[in-house]
Structure 1
Amino acid sequence: MPASDLSRAALSTVRVWLVGGGKMGGALLTGWLDNGVAPDNVTIIDPAPGRVPQGVRLAADPAAPLAEGPAPDVLVLAVKPQIMDDVLPAYRSLGDGTTVALSVAAGRLIAGFEAALGAGTPVVRSIPNTPAAVHRGMTVACANAHVTETARATCDALLGAVGDIAWVDDEALIDAVTAVSGSGPAYVFWLTECMARAGVEAGLPEALAARIARATVSGAGALMDQAEEDPATLRRNVTSPNGTTAAALDELMNDRAGLGPLMTRAVAAAARRSRELAG
């Protein structure tokens, strides 16, 4: 979902430091540049980044950009959660209330960023997912009390450049968000694998089973994205009474052993692990 015209105007002048130029950082950067962020307003801080687009500045460590100034409007923290504690102290001088710290790291609480950067630091915690790489991501974000409306709109535009964006006021909901959308693409990929395997068991050649499973899942997703009907209606629309789809759904919709109870347990397990990682 592209940024709005207003967001494009705001993005054209925003200064961004991207700490971590890996897959998620790279996906965000591509979205920003496609939606109006000026390359020379972006600095990637990473000793070994991926592709660096023309015009974007690169620093191996934060010392150079901190010395050069000016401070960024948004400090995007896109490093792995397990090294975040080693990275944050270098940016404490930015915790004066003018730079927004925007995290895309799972399992890292707002309170942790406030402790590392300063109690008055505006912090936005967000959970994007991997379809951001093709600008079809789903991101949910939560802001602390120091984030102004202007800063929130800027973060909304940056995150919205790679897909859909929603906000929650209760940070505790982020664990459930992580379990549904953050981890969700893996569930869909596993479903595709299972469909392909089942096709082989039913007699299809392996390559054909893999091809039609992949195309069916991606095509159904595209249809759902464009349709006005909700998923339940779409499901009913393709299910003839006593037909082949109904026979399969009788298995998948079993109250005790079907996909519904299994997915509930899976999401609960992911949310529980998210809470454990957050400490």
Structure 2
Amino acid sequence: MAMMGFIGAGNMGYPMIRGAMKAFGTEQVIFTDVSLERREFIKQETGLNYVSDNVSIAAACKFIVLAVKPQFYEDVFNDIKEIITKEQVIISIAAGVTIDNVKSALGGTVRVVRAMPNTPAMVTEGMSGVCFSQDIYNEEEKEVVDRLFSSFGQYQIFDEKLMNAVVCANGSSPAYVYMFIEALADSVVKYGIPRDKAYTLVAQTVLGAAKMVLETKEHPGKLKDQVCSPGGTTIAAVAALEEYGFRNAIIKATDACYERAVSLKK
């Protein structure tokens, strides 16, 4: 039995596959995807073998990662439900799909790890939220989960009741960051900075600011205050952001994201 199989190899599945290859070795990982073109592309890029159907993954692997969109879960469940045993572990990464949803579809004895990774996994800077079903996992199985989610970034463990909030914090939020980078770059292109240099200036600044938060462990507000000299340019810009509802826009975006995540499981 192979260590790990992936059902789905899209924007999120592919970087997880690459991480798994690094963590466990090519011989321990197989995958499938509904698109033959996608399967061939990944094989050409990585040298990894694929299978053509979900049943083959379920029959061959100890850990099975469901890396398809929520609307396709039912089809996958129908394919594999007669094959999955309590010895296997299902890793689900779809927003709104609960552990109970997976257990209900595949049988109450199936063990489920629910996770929310994000697309920066493609550059091994992913951030994942992870929760475990209330089942028994041995130390080796826990180590496999640790090695998988550490192979493309970092992860933290949460109670499942917080997973919809995790979606807001890391799953959807890269899109907001890209919008911020694009908008800030546009704003300085207006003043004459070439676009390619504007993107580099802004993206590296976002990367550096994030690293400051992670490595100094200082409150973001304190780090912000360190940039805001009295009567200076930064505090003038911060005042404008407050005037136009910058924080409120982020909070409202999180509310919309959370409500949508909740609605997906209905």
**TM-score, scaled to structure 2:** 0.88
CA distance in 1, matches of 2:169, 2:8: 24
CA distance in 2, matches of 1:272, 1:160: 29
Give the residue type in structure 2 aligned to 1:21.
A
* 2:112 is the counterpart of 1:123: yes
User: Of residues 209, 225, 238 in structure 2, which corresponds to 1:220?
Assistant: 209
User: Of residues 59, 74, 85 in structure 2, which corresponds to 1:96?
Assistant: 85
Residue 29 of structure 1 and its aligned partner are, at CA, apart by: 1.6
Aligned match of 2:42? 51
Residue 149 of structure 1 and its aligned partner are, at CA, apart by: 4.2
The answer to whether the Cα contact below 8 Å between 2:117 and 2:128 also exists between their aligned partners in 1 is yes
Give the residue type in structure 2 aligned to 1:59.
V
CA distance in 2, matches of 1:123, 1:148: 10
Q: What is the DSSP-based 3-state SS (H/G/I as helix, E as strand, rest coil) of the residue aligned with 2:85?
A: coil
* 2:49 is the counterpart of 1:60: no
Residue 85 of structure 1 and its aligned partner are, at CA, apart by: 0.8
Residue 193 of structure 1 and its aligned partner are, at CA, apart by: 1.5
Residue 173 of structure 1 and its aligned partner are, at CA, apart by: 1.1
The answer to whether the Cα contact below 8 Å between 1:97 and 1:146 also exists between their aligned partners in 2 is no
Residue 275 of structure 1 and its aligned partner are, at CA, apart by: 0.5
The answer to whether the Cα contact below 8 Å between 2:6 and 2:57 also exists between their aligned partners in 1 is no
Residue 271 of structure 1 and its aligned partner are, at CA, apart by: 0.4
* 2:144 is the counterpart of 1:154: yes
Aligned match of 1:73? 62
CA distance in 2, matches of 1:245, 1:65: 54
Structure 1 portions without partners, runs of 5+: 1-12
Aligned match of 1:233? 222
**Percent identity of equivalent pairs:** 30
Residue 75 of structure 1 and its aligned partner are, at CA, apart by: 0.7
* 2:243 is the counterpart of 1:260: no
Give the residue type in structure 2 aligned to 1:258.
G
User: Of residues 30, 36, 52 in structure 1, which corresponds to 2:18?
Assistant: 30
The answer to whether the Cα contact below 8 Å between 2:55 and 2:80 also exists between their aligned partners in 1 is no
Change (3 A) 1:186 1:65: closer
Residue 152 of structure 1 and its aligned partner are, at CA, apart by: 3.3
Aligned match of 2:3? 15
The answer to whether the Cα contact below 8 Å between 2:20 and 2:151 also exists between their aligned partners in 1 is yes
Residue 65 of structure 1 and its aligned partner are, at CA, apart by: 5.1
Give the residue type in structure 2 aligned to 1:51.
I
Q: 1:59-86 CA deviation, whole Å, 9 max, x = no partner?
A: 01134455xx5x4221111112211111
Residue 39 of structure 1 and its aligned partner are, at CA, apart by: 1.2
Change (3 A) 1:228 1:167: closer
Aligned match of 1:273? 260
The answer to whether the Cα contact below 8 Å between 2:120 and 2:127 also exists between their aligned partners in 1 is yes
**TM-score, scaled to structure 1:** 0.84
Aligned match of 1:243? 232
Q: Between Structure 1 and Structure 2, how many residues are aligned?
A: 258
Give the residue type in structure 1 aligned to 2:6.
L
Aligned match of 1:168? 158
Q: 1:24-68 CA deviation, whole Å, 9 max, x = no partner?
A: 111012112223x021111112243241223x33101134455xx
Structure 2 portions without partners, runs of 5+: none
